[in-house]
Amino acid sequence: MPPAPRHALALASLLAFCLMSSPALAAPPSEASPAPQASPAPLPESPSLSLTDTYSPVALGTIGLLFPTSAAITVFGGYFFDAPVPAMGSPTPGSLDYRVAENFHGDLETGAPLLGGIPDHGGYALSALPVLYYGLGSAWKGITGRDLYPWQGPYHHQSTFAYLETFTWTALLTNAAKFFVGRARPYVALNRRSYGWHGGEDYLSFWSGHASLSFAAATFMARDISDGLYHRVLANAEPLPRFMLGRALPYTVLYGAASTVAVSRLYDQKHFVSDVVIGAAVGTLLATLVYNARFDARGIPRTRPGVALDIAPSAEPAPVPPEPLSRTTPTRSSPAASAPFAIHNRFRILPGQQLKLALP
């Protein structure tokens, strides 16, 4: 058997094994089968939250104004602003930046881009993908009343707005660096005009906007989808399928797409290695900061300060009733007198409820 079909067959077998070993995806056991072992309970869902539960009106208005502004600057910034005065020099011959740009490129006569330019346009598509992804989920939920993505939970609006926040800060910071720093692109520094654009783009090399926005989108979506799969859909799965499908798969697919976009910027002579690495780091960092600020470790939105919360009994075993009191008053040395006061009712706070205490 040729190598390629053999590898494909092995991959298909591994995937089938993972799917069949997952209790959430396998067929239900028959009556004669032994009882399954106890597994961790799926993540309990909280009631749906409104955007005002997680974002203040000021934050909503700020992001709503800055997001279209940042998107317009990202796409048309080279036409809106004059070419910046170069403030950052080109890499010196022999440096890593210079050697990669000198040796990693396509046809210098035609300037053919990597994979026909698909990764170049894919950078913009990847940064817009989360908006389409969450928008479809919200529309489907509003029309049918059901979740389009089982792993998403009732948090489409929070995820959509959190990603808009991620995109906004990443795009604004990236474009500020481009137009204030000013660095010649590789095709300018190495005089390869076959790869050139119009003059307004010649000195916008530092840092890569394709890399920063692609890695911001990949990081945010990987975190969000991974948390939903790991804590909801695969909560009762075996450890290996739970990790492979809930953690490894989303990160591999999305970071693979972002890495392809980043490599194309080197091949197409648009950025140096340092431009791509710093851009990817900035996008990853900002997406991580926004996600951690808006969601907890299980992917449930955090409520903003000042939102009233209720108290509801938690899912715990029934408390053991206390023993009846003795008619004799316990002495200081008796165990009853030295035993600490025990609270048997435990509660957890849920969004949208209020805590009321009656004082004597």
What pairs with residue 301 in β-bridges?
Answer: 295
Q: Is the pLDDT of residue 246 over 90?
A: yes
DSSP symbol at 304? P
Structural domain spans, the chain:
51-294
**The pLDDT of residue 304:** 87
* pLDDT band of 236, cuts 50, 70, 90: very high
Residues 298, 50 contacting (CB under 8 angstroms): no
Residue holding tokens 């800060």? 169
* pLDDT band of 36, cuts 50, 70, 90: very low
**The pLDDT of residue 45:** 52
Mean pLDDT across 173-189: 95
Q: Which residues contact 358 (CB under 8 A, 6 or more apart)?
A: none
Average pLDDT, the chain: 80
**The pLDDT of residue 352:** 53
Portion of the chain with pLDDT greater than 90, in percent: 57
Mean pLDDT across 129-158: 89
**The pLDDT of residue 95:** 96
Q: How far is CA 202 from CA 77, 88, 183, 262, 278, in A?
A: 13, 13, 8, 18, 19
Looking at per-residue confidence, does 32 or 24 come out higher? 32
Q: How far is CA 43 from CA 208, 231, 284, 299, in A?
A: 39, 6, 27, 10
What pairs with residue 312 in β-bridges?
Answer: 348
The segment with the largest mean pLDDT, out of 101-115, 139-153, 184-198, 207-221, is: 207-221
Q: Is the pLDDT of residue 197 over 90?
A: no
**The pLDDT of residue 331:** 46
Give me the CATH code for the 51-294 domain, please: 1.20.144
What pairs with residue 295 in β-bridges?
Answer: 301
**The pLDDT of residue 319:** 59
Instruction: Provide the 3-class DSSP secondary structure of residue 268.
Output: coil
**The pLDDT of residue 145:** 85
Looking at per-residue confidence, does 124 or 153 come out higher? 124
Q: Is the pLDDT of residue 248 over 60?
A: yes
What pairs with residue 183 in β-bridges?
Answer: 88, 204
Portion of the chain with pLDDT greater than 70, in percent: 71
Residues 170, 216 contacting (CB under 8 angstroms): yes
Residue holding tokens 């119009």? 198
**The pLDDT of residue 133:** 95
* pLDDT band of 186, cuts 50, 70, 90: very high
* pLDDT band of 165, cuts 50, 70, 90: very high
Q: Nearest 5 degrees, angle CA 250-CA 252-CA 253?
A: 70
Q: What is the Cα–Cα distance from 109 to 85, expressed in whole angstroms?
A: 29
What's this model's pTM, rounded to 2 decimal places? 0.74
pLDDT 10s digits, 215-234: 999 999 999 999 999 999 99
Q: What is the Cα–Cα distance from 253 to 245, expressed in whole angstroms?
A: 11
pLDDT 10s digits, 204-215: 999 999 999 999
Give strand ranges (E) for the chain: 309-313, 347-351
